[in-house]
Structure 1
Amino acid sequence: MNNLTIETKPLIAQNILIVDDHPFIIQGYKNAITRYKPDEYEFSISQAKDCQSGYEIITNTESPVFDIAFLDISMPAYDEEGIFSGEDLAKVLMQRMPNCRIILLTMYTEILKIKTIIKTINPNGLVIKNDLTFDELLYAFDKVIKNEIYYSQSVLAMLSQMQEVTIEIDQFDKTILFQLSKGTKRSEISQYLPISSSAIQRRMDDMKVLLELKEGTDEELVRVAKSKGLLL
């Protein structure tokens, strides 16, 4: 009687990075990942709670090369290294581990912000957190691990409206917003542009109307411009 030996394929090792400032969300991601095809994959998961700890893991020479990274966009900043969001961490990852597939997660629902994220990062996955369920997370992970692109339903809905978005500003407006965000006084912005102070004021007034500001202050202009992706 012949003895039959059943050959089993070795598990595919995958190094996963999760960066989020909410521990229960990290645990949810880990629960989903470890249940994904356990007969095919073996996952090693590293985690961080903010921009600083995420940056330190990514830049640590002893860290593994990550295959997939889940990055929350809004997290406590790491001012010393100029890392203010998950987008900034994604840029560091793209430089150091160009083959890492990046999934960005956000509460942002502004069309222009989503457009900016896609343009600057072009992530493998982009998820509005309100869309996320356990099953949806598994589906997103399945798509990304197969080198496919995954956008959650709200992202897809916003992308379908992109052609209707008409808010556009030129380089002069962007310079004005940038200087305001740095704390430059309105009267001093003309040092950075070849236009008069009165022209700068008109442009600021036009942007406030365009963005439908409620308060009309310079601080609100900067805040809303950031939320809409007009100021990075």
Structure 2
Amino acid sequence: MEETIRILMTDDHPIIIEGYQNTLLATKKESQNLIIDIANNCDQSIAFMNKSIEEENPYQILFMDISLPPSSDGTITSGEDLSKFAREILPDAKIIILTMFNEPFRIHNIIKEINPEGFVVKSDLTSRELASAFQAVVNNPPFYSTTVTSYLRKTHASEIEIDDKDRKILYLLSQGIKTKSLTKHLGISTSSVEKRKKQLKEIFSITDGQDETLLSEAKKLGFL
């Protein structure tokens, strides 16, 4: 029996998205009929989603790139925002995130904020990986690519629990942001930043008090 699957792919690189489309059509099961729409920006993607709801024929699978330019009204600033919007208006759709970002902080945030049924870091991407991700998400989600799985394994194996602000402090420090500049990125006072950094050094058992040692240990344990 034929199964029709309605798919929306959103990516601002037409050549890349054409490759995704060709891969899915070439590797689909014989029983699958894929109807694929393509959006190159947030506005097009939102219009397609709204139209599918109006026509009472909603998408079942959404492929979302994270690096997208903002929507024209400025309310959607990235693929992350677009995915959250999709979760609200298409609650039954399964989301597959495709992203260049491979830093643990970004991976953690995407899982926490969106909890996608599929999550593929583009550096892991091959035609086979994309085909596997699609079939897994259709039949038995979730599907995480190698980089995402490795991050999850590392952080789950670690006994260390830190909150989102602490993760952001580690991430910003690793990007070369100085301590005195962290306050404007985090919206907390300098003394709060210093207190959190001190606690992080205790949590990660840093004895020399150096930021470099803290970052090195956090990286070893999968937090960076």
Shift, 1:120, TM fit: 1.5
Q: Taking structure 1 as reference, are residues 62 and 203 closer, same or farther at Cα in structure 2, changes over 3 Å only?
A: same
Secondary structure, counterpart of 1:77 in structure 2: coil
Q: Is the 8 A contact 1:57 1:63 kept in 2?
A: no
Q: Is the 8 A contact 1:77 1:84 kept in 2?
A: yes
Instruction: Give structure 1 stretches of 5+ with no counterpart.
Output: 1-8, 183-188, 194-199, 214-227
Which residue is 1:84 aligned to?
A: 77
TM-score by length of 1: 0.69
Per-residue CA shift, 1:108-139, capped at 9, x if unaligned? 11212211211121111000000000111111
Secondary structure, counterpart of 1:65 in structure 2: coil
Letter of the aligned partner of 1:77 in structure 2? P
Letter of the aligned partner of 2:191 in structure 1? R
User: 1 CA distance for matches of 2:28 and 2:8?
Assistant: 18
Identity %: 33
Which residue is 2:184 aligned to?
A: 180
Larger radius of gyration: 1
Which residue is 1:197 aligned to?
A: none
2:184 is aligned with 1:160: no
Q: Is the 8 A contact 1:125 1:150 kept in 2?
A: yes
User: 2 CA distance for matches of 1:98 and 1:117?
Assistant: 17
Which residue is 1:19 aligned to?
A: 10
TM-score by length of 2: 0.71
Letter of the aligned partner of 1:120 in structure 2? E
Which residue is 1:142 aligned to?
A: 135
User: 1 CA distance for matches of 2:78 and 2:109?
Assistant: 14
Which residue is 1:33 aligned to?
A: 24
User: 1 CA distance for matches of 2:196 and 2:83?
Assistant: 30
Which of the residues 117, 123, 137 maps onto 1:130? 123
Q: Is the 8 A contact 1:18 1:46 kept in 2?
A: yes
Per-residue CA shift, 1:175-213, capped at 9, x if unaligned? xx999369xxxxxx7xxx8xxxxxx12234567897x69
Q: Is the 8 A contact 2:183 2:190 kept in 1?
A: no
Which residue is 1:48 aligned to?
A: 39
Q: Taking structure 1 as reference, are residues 79 and 180 closer, same or farther at Cα in structure 2, changes over 3 Å only?
A: farther
Q: Is the 8 A contact 1:68 1:101 kept in 2?
A: yes
Q: Taking structure 1 as reference, are residues 63 and 107 closer, same or farther at Cα in structure 2, changes over 3 Å only?
A: farther
Secondary structure, counterpart of 1:21 in structure 2: coil
Aligned residue pairs total 188
User: 2 CA distance for matches of 1:48 and 1:140?
Assistant: 20
Which of the residues 103, 108, 113 maps onto 1:115? 108
Secondary structure, counterpart of 1:43 in structure 2: strand
Q: Is the 8 A contact 1:15 1:65 kept in 2?
A: yes
For the aligned residue pairs, the C-alpha RMSD in angstroms reads 3.3
Secondary structure, counterpart of 1:70 in structure 2: strand
Shift, 1:36, TM fit: 2.9
2:61 is aligned with 1:98: no
Shift, 1:141, TM fit: 0.9
Letter of the aligned partner of 2:88 in structure 1? Q
User: 2 CA distance for matches of 1:63 and 1:23?
Assistant: 27
Secondary structure, counterpart of 2:27 in structure 1: coil
